[in-house]
Amino acid sequence: MSSATGAKRATELSFKFKENGLLINSFLVGFEDVSLYQQGGHHPVHIGDCLGEQEEYRVIHKLGSGGYGIVWLCRVLGRHSTEYVAVKILAASDSGQYNVERRIDGLPDEKVLDILGHPRKAPIIVREGFRAPGAHAPDYAVYQIQIDRATEEKCRLVSERICVIDFGESYEQSRVPTGGYGIPMPYSAPVLVLDGQYRPASDIWALAVAMFYIRTGRELFFSLSSEPDSFLTEVVRYLGPFPSPGGLGKPKGNIRRRAG
């Protein structure tokens, strides 16, 4: 799942919680949504923490985050050979579990961090008028690894085998869900945003946007706002005005005026 701030799932999940007053003290973008650091949300993790029933996974960096959880790069302890895994910790409202997703080449921790970059930490602060979160939030947020800034050494850490994973939101075309499609806003086809109706062509749009991200390392339609109008404005800015409303659905807000 994309880590963009406009991810639909993250937005839906944040609506379940009260404002906790937490902010990240950093000019960087792309951190997890710290409003989810409360009971039922994200599990607080610090660099150096040990995860798992036997505390066999030591956290050394963050790989990414999304609406369902946060993925951490961990060293497997107690092995003769050096091994690393990606551990995904789901938000408590979804599971509260962790999943070991895949392994990467084993190197000493310092060598891995020299290649991928050492963790950049940003303090989490509490706005005036709010209580300190206590054990529900970490002391800082970690900026995720920037794999897209590829070097020859980084590329050696990535397997040449391509795997399609995470089918948690998949469904048969004949059984389209009615409670949302689980597609992050930046990957949603405009027609899906405008009228909420799934069409097979929506998958083609999402695939094209995903391919752009894979090749360039950046979102094609990036917006700091999670509002549909903001996303649709970005689409218009890149691709031009929409076809007639009858072909896409009824526009929301003032997007039609801006598109023209």
How would you write the pLDDT of the chain (260 residues) with one tens digit per residue? Answer: 433 333 445 444 544 667 788 888 888 877 888 888 888 888 899 999 999 888 899 999 998 887 678 889 999 898 877 888 888 888 877 664 566 665 555 677 887 888 788 899 999 998 888 888 888 899 999 998 876 654 656 666 665 566 666 666 677 777 776 666 667 778 888 888 887 777 788 888 988 998 888 788 788 887 766 678 888 888 898 888 887 755 554 544 444 433 33
Residues 124 and 62 in one domain: yes
Asked, for residue 132, whether it belongs to a domain, the answer is: yes
pTM: 0.62
Domain that holds residue 212: 185-259
Give the angle subtended at the CA of 181 by the CAs of 229 and 68, to the nearest 5°.
Answer: 95
- In the three-class reduction of DSSP (H, G, I as helix; E, B as strand; rest coil), residue 26 is classed as coil
Give helix then strand counts, H and E, for the chain.
Answer: 8, 8
Residue 88 annotated as binding? yes
Residues 23 and 82 in one domain: yes
Asked, for residue 172, whether it belongs to a domain, the answer is: no
Residue-wise burial string across 74-90, b where 16 or more C-beta atoms lie within 10 A, e elsewhere: bbbeeeeeeebbbbbbb
Asked, for residue 218, whether it belongs to a domain, the answer is: yes
Q: Within 13 Å of residue 65, how many CA atoms lie on the same side as its CB? A: 24
**What is the domain count for the chain?**
2
